[in-house]
Amino acid sequence: MDFTPYSLPLMLAAGVSLWLAGIVWRRRPGPGVYPFVILMLAVVWWSVFYALELSASSASAKLLLAGLQYVGITIVPPAWLLFVLQYTGNERTAFLKYWRLLLIEPILITVLAATNPLHTLFYSGYTLLPQGTFTLLKVKGGTFYWVNPVYAYVLLFVATVILVRAMIRSPQIYRDQAFALLIAVLAPWIANFMYLSGVSPFPGLDLTPFAFTITGLATGWGLIRFRLLDIVPVARDKIVETMSDAVFVLDAQSRIVDINPAALNLLKADAGKVIGTLAQETFAPYASLIEPLKGMTEGRTEVTVPGTPKRYYEVLVSPLRNADGRLSGRTFVLHEITSLKEINLALSEARDQAQESSRLKSEFLSTMSHELRTPLNAIIGFLGIVQQQANLDEKNAHRINRARSNSERLLQLINNILDIGRIESQRIEVISTPIVIRPFIHKICAQVEPLAEEKKLSFQSEISPQVPETIMGDEDLLTKIITNLLGNAFKFTDKGSVRLNIQRDQDFWTITVQDTGIGIAPHMRELIFERFRQVDASAARRYGGSGLGLSIVSSLCQEMGGTISVDGELNEGSTFTVRLPLRVPENTSLTAEDRNRSSERVVHVGD
């Protein structure tokens, strides 16, 4: 063995390649891992045996070691191509489908190189070039010697084109990865071209294995800086090919220039038969699909494909423009929404059935309520006559009073049911008339005073001087709102007081009912306005109630353009506030008398 200064750089190249193979091997089974590891191991083989060739003393040893190098030399080009194909997501290309054919040339060349002394078809001769302490082997190529460079450069060219295309069409991070790979592959092949063409500054010395040091550094840079083989690009073509959505592209003459498998499946046709045909002809069996799309260059629409079963598609149309900005074609993406349509249809039918059931229920309740209200009014009237005219003892008077009270509660429930029916059928009509507010409020308070007297509660009302003397509103609906709120306050208050306040708030006026009753928990404040909702079942059993009153109040407030809110704490009373738009009769305003009027407070029951 002779000493050679070139052995150390070659061993460095082999070491770097072996290190890269180990790093990438840990990332299996990622795209491109296996061919890349094979590529690096082939480089290690090539570099090590070339270092041994340079150190060998005899011509026979050099020829043997040169032949063994071809195990690595011939594997590098196909391994690189397979790596690029997997890295760029082109697994379905013919190269990968028939990758075993790529091994025919490496096997043939390796066998010819190893058996050259028997036939001299690979090397036709050689020369030893003295270089001081060592000699270089310079071979003369035989018939098959040039097959390997041509084969290698073809595969290199194909791989480079694929890589450059991916670099152009991919996001920035993948472009940086591809750039690092281009540096890694071009360095050794430029060195190889210089060696084979005889323009190398070191005649007889193959610079290719040395250049693999640059390959290792560039690949390592890509691994660390750009996460090479950690995140890899996916070919756009692959995305389109594997999409479940049908995609086809038309040129400016409406000819089909590209189509994916999903669209071919829709047409039940082969790509070879539809590419280049007019869309109107190809889609003739689906006229309902293509007709709405004829004039579209951009937008989104829905189309229906007749058949059994009928299918629905959402179509996205995008324009394709050339460098001058002129329209050169259109892309169509068809996303099937049949399942969604069927679900929406089922929901629509269920909604219609529910609405019809609700309408029938409301009609039944309305009819039943009318039928019940007439005899119930007669019963209440008769009980009133008995109370006034009959000379009843205390026990019977109590019974008659209880019967009348329960009848009135039942009548109130029937009236609520009728109101709910009118609200659901949207038969509530707001009739706005002038209302002299103070007598109106006093009248309502007089109607509910017996409720306060019965439970010995303090009951007060107060009207702010800022409230106009006359306002516009629906007297019947306002009566229902205030009566319901006061009725609830008395019902759920056992001791203390109930207060009614009427105030002005800029362009609104407010009705506030405050009590010291059982109150309401904060988390139930929004729920109490829901129909049939009762805050506490035990309280409902104790105090009575159907869960309709506040729902009716809320609906009536909305009909009049107002709102209702509630405040309070459990066991600390409640405050209900109705806020309504303030409207006054035409040609009236807040007079000096209105401004100077003091707050009108009336104690109806209690202190």
Contact 550, 484 (CB under 8 A): yes
Asked which of 106-110, 376-380, 511-515 is least confident by mean pLDDT, the reply is 376-380
Cα angle value 134/136/141 (rounded, 5°): 165
pLDDT for the residue 576 = 93
57 Cβ neighbours under 8 A, 6+ residues apart: 1, 2, 135
Q: Are 299 and 333 in contact (CB under 8 A)?
A: no
**What would the pLDDT profile of 533-550 be if each residue is shown by its tens digit?**
665 555 555 555 556 778
Taken in order 548, 550, 553, 557, the sign of the CA dihedral is negative
> What is the third-level CATH fold of 433-605?
Heat Shock Protein 90 (3.30.565)
**Residue 41 predicted with pLDDT over 90:** yes
DSSP state of 278: B
Give the pLDDT confidence score for residue 439 in this predicted structure.
92
Q: What element of type H or E holds 602?
A: strand 600-605
Residue 171 has pLDDT above 60, yes or no: no
Residue 224 vs residue 10, higher pLDDT: 10
Residue whose pair of structure tokens reads 């659901």 in the numeric block: 424
Domain ranges for the chain, please list them: 7-225, 243-336, 342-424, 433-605
Q: What is the 3-state secondary structure (H, E, C) of 406-454?
A: HHHHHHHHHHHHHHHHHHHCCCCCCCCEEEEHHHHHHHHHHHHHHHHHH
- DSSP codes joined into one string, 291-323: GGGTT-SSEEEEEEE-SSS-EEEEEEEEEEE-T
Identify the band that residue 472 occupies on the pLDDT scale cut at 50, 70 and 90. very high
Q: What is the per-residue pLDDT across 270-328, written as a single tens digit (0 to 9) for each?
A: 877 888 888 888 887 777 777 777 778 888 888 887 777 788 888 899 988 876 778 88
Write down the CATH superfamily of domain 243-336: PAS domain (3.30.450.20)
User: Using alpha carbons only, what angle is made at residue 424 by residues 421 and 428, rounded to the nearest 5 degrees?
Assistant: 80
Measured between alpha carbons, how far is 324 from 332 in angstroms, rounded to an integer? 22
Q: How far apart are CA 56 and CA 60, in angstroms?
A: 9
- Do the beta carbons of residue 300 and residue 334 sit within 8 Å? no
| C-alpha–C-alpha distance, residues 351 and 367, integer Å | 24
| β-bridge partners, 128 | 137
Residue 590 has pLDDT above 60, yes or no: no
Burial of 458 (0-12, 13-18, 19+ CB in 10 A): middle
In eight-state DSSP terms, residue 205 is: -
Distance, CA of 50 to CA of 73 (rounded, Å): 11
Higher-pLDDT residue of 220 and 455 is 455
Q: Which of 154-168, 207-221, 332-346 has the highest mean pLDDT?
A: 332-346
Examine the pLDDT at 607 and tell me if it is beyond 70: no
3-7, 304-308, 333-337, range with greatest mean pLDDT:
333-337
Q: Is the dihedral of CA 249, 255, 260, 265 positive or negative?
A: positive
pLDDT of amino acid 132:
73
Q: What is the pLDDT of residues 93-138, one digit of tens each?
A: 555 567 778 889 899 999 998 888 888 888 888 888 887 777 888 8
* Distances from the Cα of 370 to the Cα of 410, 414, 484, 603, angstroms: 13, 8, 21, 37
Which helix (H) or strand (E) covers residue 400, if one does? helix 394-424
Tokens 């071809």, residue? 70
User: In the structure, what pLDDT confidence band is assigned to residue 509 with cuts at 50, 70 and 90?
Assistant: very high
Collapse the DSSP code of 576 into the 3-class scheme (helix H, G, I; strand E, B; otherwise coil) and give the result.
strand
What does the block give as tokens for 3? 């000493």
pLDDT at residue 339 tops 60? yes
- Report the distance separating Cα 341 and Cα 309, nearest Å: 12
DSSP element (H, E) containing 124: strand 123-131
Select from 587, 591, 563, 590 the least CA-distant residue to 577.
Answer: 563
Would you state the CATH architecture of domain 7-225? Answer: Up-down Bundle (1.20)
Q: What is the pTM of this model?
A: 0.47
- The one-letter code for the residue type at 347 is L
Summarize the confidence of residues 506-527 as an average pLDDT: 87
Confidence label for 577 from pLDDT (cuts 50, 70 and 90): very high
43 pLDDT above the threshold of 60: yes
Tell the residue number behind the tokens 């309502």, with chain if given. 444
Provide the pLDDT for residue 478.
92
Q: Name which residue leads in pLDDT, 475 or 195.
A: 475
Q: Is the pLDDT of residue 595 over 70?
A: no
Between 500 and 423, the more confident residue is 500
pLDDT band at 172; cut points 50, 70, 90: low
pLDDT of residue 512: 94
pLDDT in tens, 357-377: 877 776 776 677 667 777 877
From first CA to last CA, the distance across the chain in angstroms is 124
Q: Could you tell me how far CA 492 lies from the centroid of its own chain?
A: 48
In this structure, what token pair is assigned to residue 330?
Answer: 């259109």
Higher pLDDT, 535 or 208: 208
User: Could you give phi then psi for residue 387, rounded to 5 degrees?
Assistant: -65, -40
Per-residue pLDDT at 579: 94
Q: Which two tokens stand for residue 267?
A: 């047409």
Contact call for residues 21 and 44 (beta carbons, < 8 A): yes
Query: What is the per-residue pLDDT for 553?
Result: 86
- pLDDT bucket at 24, cuts 50 / 70 / 90: confident
Q: What's the pLDDT score for residue 598?
A: 54
Q: What percent of the chain has pLDDT over 70?
A: 83
- Give 381 or 242, the one with higher predicted confidence: 381
Find out whether the peptide bond into 522 is cis, omega within 30 degrees of 0. no
- Average pLDDT over the chain reads 80
| Residue type at position 405 | S
Which CATH architecture group holds 342-424? Orthogonal Bundle (1.10)
